[in-house]
Protein backbone atom coordinates (compact mmCIF):
# COMPACT_ATOMS: atom_id res chain seq x y z
CA UNK A 1 0.00 0.00 0.00
CA UNK A 2 1.25 3.46 -0.87
CA UNK A 3 1.34 5.68 2.21
CA UNK A 4 2.70 8.88 0.65
CA UNK A 5 3.79 10.26 -2.72
CA UNK A 6 2.56 9.89 -6.27
CA UNK A 7 3.02 7.14 -8.83
CA UNK A 8 2.01 6.72 -12.44
CA UNK A 9 0.43 3.33 -13.15
CA UNK A 10 0.49 2.20 -16.79
CA UNK A 11 -2.60 0.05 -16.16
CA UNK A 12 -4.48 -1.03 -13.07
CA UNK A 13 -4.08 -4.77 -13.74
CA UNK A 14 -7.45 -5.62 -12.25
CA UNK A 15 -7.46 -3.71 -8.97
CA UNK A 16 -10.55 -1.60 -8.43
CA UNK A 17 -10.67 2.20 -8.62
CA UNK A 18 -11.77 2.20 -4.97
CA UNK A 19 -8.62 0.28 -4.02
CA UNK A 20 -6.46 2.76 -5.93
CA UNK A 21 -8.24 5.61 -4.09
CA UNK A 22 -7.34 3.86 -0.80
CA UNK A 23 -3.65 3.85 -1.79
CA UNK A 24 -3.19 0.40 -3.32
CA UNK A 25 -0.85 0.23 -6.32
CA UNK A 26 0.71 -2.47 -8.45
CA UNK A 27 4.45 -2.06 -8.05
CA UNK A 28 5.08 -3.99 -11.28
CA UNK A 29 3.07 -1.42 -13.27
CA UNK A 30 3.98 1.77 -11.38
CA UNK A 31 6.62 4.42 -11.77
CA UNK A 32 7.29 6.84 -8.88
CA UNK A 33 6.90 10.54 -9.68
CA UNK A 34 9.19 11.45 -6.79
CA UNK A 35 9.77 10.20 -3.28
CA UNK A 36 7.15 7.70 -2.11
CA UNK A 37 6.51 5.74 1.07
CA UNK A 38 5.01 2.26 0.94
CA UNK A 39 3.91 -0.32 3.48
CA UNK A 40 5.69 -3.60 2.87
| pLDDT for residue 34 | 94
CB 5 within 8 A of CB 32: yes
CA 39 – CA 16 distance, rounded (Å)? 19
| pLDDT for residue 32 | 92
Is residue 20 pLDDT above 80, yes or no? yes
* DSSP string for residues in 3-28: EES-EEES--TT--HHHHHTT---GG
CB 27 within 8 A of CB 8: no
Query: Among 25, 19, 22, 18, which residue's Cα sits nearest to residue 9?
Result: 25
pTM of the model: 0.66
Query: pLDDT band at 9, cuts 50/70/90?
Result: confident
Mean pLDDT of the chain: 87
Amino acid sequence: MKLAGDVEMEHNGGILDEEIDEGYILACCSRPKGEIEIEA
